[in-house]
A and B are shown apart, each in its own frame.
Chain A
Amino acid sequence: MAVMRLGYVHVRVTDLEAARRHYVDILGMYPIAEEEGRLYLKAWDEYDHHSVVLEAGGVGLVKLGYKCERPEDLEAYEERAHRFGVTTVRMSKGENLAVGEGLRVTLPSEHEIELYADIDYRGTATGAINPDPYPRELHGIGVPRIDHALVTCENPAEVERFFSECLDFRTSERVITDPADPELLGCWMFCGNTPHDIAFIKGPNAKLHHFAYLMEDWTSILKAGDRFSMEDVPISTGPTRHGITRGTTIYFFDPAGNRNEVFAGGYQTFADFPTITWTADELAKGIFYISRELDQNFTSVLT
């Protein structure tokens, strides 16, 4: 029984057309479907129907979708969530375009996540028969796939307990205040083999810090940065490396002000991965490993 990965992100955007230009023309996602005030997008190396859904009106996160291996898993998660004490609602097939039955959970941090097992299959742009390593016709930056999201919450310890007890996520890295009297300030958790599929840091409930695309390597990050400059995309930070996850990164903003990330690298995690701890006095090194300096917007720009 397992949650496999972050399957989709629904974000609010103040201007759907401007967002389309950003996510489709600049980032290189493919528009798959369109409804009244909603645009469904997929990246070239993803095989499910969609991974990013833009919803017209406002800014911030609507919900995160985590794909589970089997439909039978959902009942077990529902029971665990009830025992934990969070609100759940069953989703029927088709409530989300192309998505099967599922379970909507309101986290202790007021974020909404959806657990599902079935979604329409589209296939990657390179296909599954004698494939090329990437498509001939990549447009824009050609982001391959989404990877993770970072949200803020008033009580990181409670959110960690939820993901661990209810969904079997494991913690790869933590930021604590002080080893002598540790309070949890941030937590990075995985359900697959990457450093994180979800992460949360102390801050207001219900807010989004960023969601990220997984790129191939450091060169792809630099090239993405060059394109951001050409296209006048505002940069939040980078290119640089994170101490936490070892990943290389650029944080940038979409036209509504939601923060995105292009991320590459990291390390492999397994069930026996020894959790890494960062202490608050080294937070700058953890977030921005090279400069070891926090910038003015890292903890304060949220949507």
Chain B
Amino acid sequence: MISMPDSARTACKDGAFSKITIVPRDVAVMARAGEVILDAIRRYGYTYRFGCRRGGCGRCKVRLLRGSVEETGAIAETALNEAERSSGLILSCRSLPTTEVWIGLLDDDHLESLTPLLAPVMAKQDRLEKAWVPTTPERREDRGS
């Protein structure tokens, strides 16, 4: 029997997890309590462009399409400026979902499944309904379909 971490059990019961959907692929993951978007996506075995994970370099920038996030930790102005914020960009390493969120990667970024076995395991643990499960190895060109 696989034991779930305490935080996961409690959160499932309270429904305090936040679903993150990455469009247009409609890959969905669940962020656990206190988990930033970047960490949740990586826990599901996926990866995309990121850098320092500390809000200083701006590499993990994504577009927040719907929903809201809370900024956690310091962000350098050079990493994300006012104009970028106004246009809906966020640093995924510093963003805690406060509602269900939909995000889009930037045009020259792409989502890759590093470890396909993780997505269904995490989806089950996090009680994620209708998780998109990769059945074929990801191709680098396969961004939008």
- A residues lining the B interface (CB < 8 Å): 14-15, 18, 58-60, 234, 236, 253-259, 296-297, 300-303
Given A14-B76, A58-B76, A58-B78, CB of A258 within 8 Å of CB of B56: yes
Chain A residues lying within 8 Å of B74, measured Cβ to Cβ, are 14-15, 18, 255-256
Given A15-B73, A300-B59, CB of A257 within 8 Å of CB of B49: no
The docked-state distance in angstroms from the alpha carbon of A296 to that of B109 is 12
Do A297 and B59 have beta carbons less than 8 Å apart?
Answer: yes
Q: In this complex, what residue of B is CB-closest to A232?
A: B53
Residue pairs across A and B with CB atoms within 8 Å: the count is 65
In this complex, the member of A236, A258, A300, A303 whose beta carbon has the largest number of chain B beta carbons within 10 angstroms is A303
Do A255 and B77 have beta carbons less than 8 Å apart?
Answer: no
> How would residues 51 to 87 of chain B score, 1 for a CB under 8 Å from any chain A CB and 0 otherwise?
1111111010000000000000111111100000000
The size class of the interface chain B forms with chain A is 10 to 19
Given A296-B49, A301-B59, CB of A257 within 8 Å of CB of B77: no
Do A302 and B57 have beta carbons less than 8 Å apart?
Answer: yes
Given A58-B76, A59-B76, CB of A14 within 8 Å of CB of B49: no
Chain B residues lying within 8 Å of A59, measured Cβ to Cβ, are 56-57, 76, 78-79
Do B51 and A257 have beta carbons less than 8 Å apart?
Answer: yes
Do A301 and B76 have beta carbons less than 8 Å apart?
Answer: no
Given A234-B52, A300-B59, A301-B51, CB of A257 within 8 Å of CB of B79: yes
Q: In this complex, what residue of A is CB-closest to B74?
A: A14
The docked-state distance in angstroms from the alpha carbon of A254 to that of B57 is 11
Given contacts A14-B55, A18-B74, A253-B53, could you give 5 more A-B pairs where the C-beta distance is less than 8 Å?
Answer: A59-B76, A60-B78, A256-B74, A257-B55, A258-B52
Do B54 and A300 have beta carbons less than 8 Å apart?
Answer: no
Q: In this complex, what residue of A is CB-closest to B75?
A: A14
